[in-house]
């Protein structure tokens, strides 16, 4: 599987990825860092703590990374969650169960595909 095929498999934008990161080798290195970093974990921890601000910061961060890596589907899921918890007042909470689950599902899928690619 090529990097291009990998991106196609999880709804990523390979053309944009190459424009930003120039070559497959660099893209692969960044994807390696992505799975090592596990940005999603911060979202889960904040979600479990009902920490809206934490959810916002973590989802915002994930959104940024996914955007730069052109992981389009994951980027969109992270954006939805981020927008939902943006500008909440102190102590205010919203139900983000659906958004978190969708994000989790997408993240785990992408993670599996990237790991599989990198292990080859």
Which residues of this chain interact with other proteins, rule CB under 8 A?
16, 19-22, 26, 29-30, 33-34, 37, 57, 60-61, 63-70, 75
Phi, psi values for residue 3, rounded to 5° = -60, -35
Shortest distance, CB of residue 79 to other proteins, whole angstroms? 9
Q: Which residues contact 58 (CB under 8 A, 6 or more apart)?
A: 39, 42, 43, 45, 46
Q: Based on CB atoms, which residue is closest to other proteins, 29 or 50?
A: 29
- Residue 30 exposure: Cα atoms within 13 Å on the Cβ side: 18
Q: Based on CB atoms, which residue is closest to other proteins, 82 or 113?
A: 82
Shortest distance, CB of residue 39 to other proteins, whole angstroms? 8
Q: Based on CB atoms, which residue is closest to other proteins, 18 or 44?
A: 18
Shortest distance, CB of residue 3 to other proteins, whole angstroms? 15
Shortest distance, CB of residue 34 to other proteins, whole angstroms? 6
Q: Based on CB atoms, which residue is closest to other proteins, 4 or 16?
A: 16
């Amino acid at each position: 599987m090529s990097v291009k095929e990998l991106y196609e498999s999880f709804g990523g934008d390979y053309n944009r990825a190459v424009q930003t990161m120039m070559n497959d080798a660099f893209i692969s290195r960044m994807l390696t860092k992505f799975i090592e970093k596990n940005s999603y974990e911060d979202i889960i921890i904040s979600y479990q703590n009902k920490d809206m601000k934490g959810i916002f910061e973590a989802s915002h961060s994930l959104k940024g990374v996914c955007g730069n890596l052109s992981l389009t589907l994951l980027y969109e899921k992270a954006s939805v969650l981020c927008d939902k918890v943006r500008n909440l007042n102190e102590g205010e909470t919203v139900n983000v169960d659906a958004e978190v689950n969708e994000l989790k599902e997408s993240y785990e899928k992408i993670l599996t595909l990237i790991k599989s690619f990198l292990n080859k």
